[in-house]
Amino acid sequence: YQRRVRGTSPYIYETLLNLKFRISAHSFFQVNTLAAEILYSRVRHLTNPTSESIVLDVCCGTGTIGMIMAPLVKKVIGIDICESAIKDANENAELNGISNIEFRAGKAEDLLPKLLNEYRSSVPLFAIVDPPRAGLHLKVLKAIRSCSAIDRLVYVSCNQNALVEDAKHLTRAESKQMIGRPFMAKKVEAVDMFPHTDNCEVIVLFEREP
């Protein structure tokens, strides 16, 4: 299709939780900004980070969640398949003066295993995933399960059917196909992002079984 820009700028600028974000045509950004502030505030609360934490922000989009987490942690690493979203994310980090964050463009199933090997010995390490409607690739789920350094995972879901399927892989007993101690769902919260519809965003906190 042909993209047409009306006006002088190809970007939209939005403010969320006192941070400013540049959004390009192909980048994902929550349309209900006020509800998104509630959603991301709950994500921040559930992660319960420390100043030594390293955060893996999977499917990071324009870097919204990562930049909200950045002031509370040691480092944030964002991954997204959309190159224009990563360009926006880098611009947004500079726009907000955030230096302890980096972004990498590519498929999560390709980048995440390499990142987890790089930071496998880092403690505490936790992941935040905010996948598209199809959910997470099986290789991503396997990489998260096999990395023992990740003992906490926050999953943000816009499609609860996909969430259920991914949760099966995260919580099933260890096997040759799914290496690593399973997670347990510890807390579930719903945020009404789309009033007067049947849809909502669901946040699930997973923690490793003891």
Count the neighbouring beta carbons within 10 Å of the beta carbon of residue 166. 25
Q: What is the DSSP string of 27-72?
A: S---S-HHHHHHHHHHHHHHH---TT-EEEEET-TTTHHHHHHGGG
The 3-class SS string of 63-106 reads: CHHHHHHHHHCCEEEEEECCHHHHHHHHHHHHHCCCCCEEEEEC
Cβ of 66: how many Cβ atoms within 10 Å? Answer: 28
- Residues labelled as active-site residues: 158, 201
Taking the CA atoms of 20, 25, 27 and 29 in sequence, report the sign of the dihedral they define: positive
